[in-house]
Chains A and B, each alone.
Chain A
Amino acid sequence: MKNRLKVLRAERDWSQQDLAVRLGVSRQSVNAIETGKYDPSLPLAFRISDVFGLPIEELFLRE
């Protein structure tokens, strides 16, 4: 699933590690989600939504 995490992260000047700390996951997880290798569970998607302050549908895009 495509997502806008990399762009949104760059807008905030966060590194992958910064976002990982905010989400309570590993940097590898952030990288895997950003590159589309892994689709997060619904609970993690909601955490990402909370961290960016945006609804889920603005973070993840239908293919």
Chain B
Amino acid sequence: MPARSPALRRYLLRLAVLMSLYVVLLLGAVTLCRHDRPEGALAYIVAIAPALPVIGVFWAVMRLIVEETDEFIRLLHVRQCMVATGFCLTVVTVWQFFQNFDLVPPGNGGFGALLFWFVGLGVGAIYNRFTMGTAGSCA
């Protein structure tokens, strides 16, 4: 089996396409809002446009888990996602309570749960490395 499985190669391709699309849509939405701020339904469409490729990344990760034929590598991916989800929920929950008790200012500076989930993937890879001896093919 090659270093990168067919499922992983497809995932990396999907990720590259989706991230490129994300950059284009984000820059487009920001530019549009700065020059001629849309209103009504169009404002919602412009706002959600950059989120669509990000949602696509979640789909790509799930497809990687489904399509990976190496059961041990698939286990590593699942563990990585579980750690990422736990990490993300923990950070967001703690931050929420900090806000509830006025310890931190409201808002999140434009960073939602997404950022922490991606950071959590990195934490999950480290966790795999220490507990299973390898982070998997994608690390």
Contact = CB atoms under 8 A, between A and B. Distances in A.
Given A20-B1, A38-B75, A25 B70 contact: yes
A26 B133 contact: no
Contacts of B72: 25-26, 28-29, 32-33, 38, 40
A27, A38, A41 pick with most chain B CB within 10 angstroms: A38
Contact of A32 (B5, B134, B137): B134
Interface residues of A, number: 17
B72, B133, B136, B137 pick with most chain A CB within 10 angstroms: B72
Interface residues of B, number: 13
Q: Is the interface of B mostly helix, strand, loop or mixed?
A: loop
B73 A28 contact: yes
Nearest to A23: B1
A31 B136 CA distance: 12
A15 interface: no
Interface string B117-139: 00000000000000011101100
A24 B1 contact: yes
Nearest to A29: B72
Given A20-B1, A21-B1, A28 B71 contact: no
Interface string B36-76: 00000000000000000000000000000000011111010
Nearest to B136: A28
Interface of B: 1, 5, 69-73, 75, 132-134, 136-137
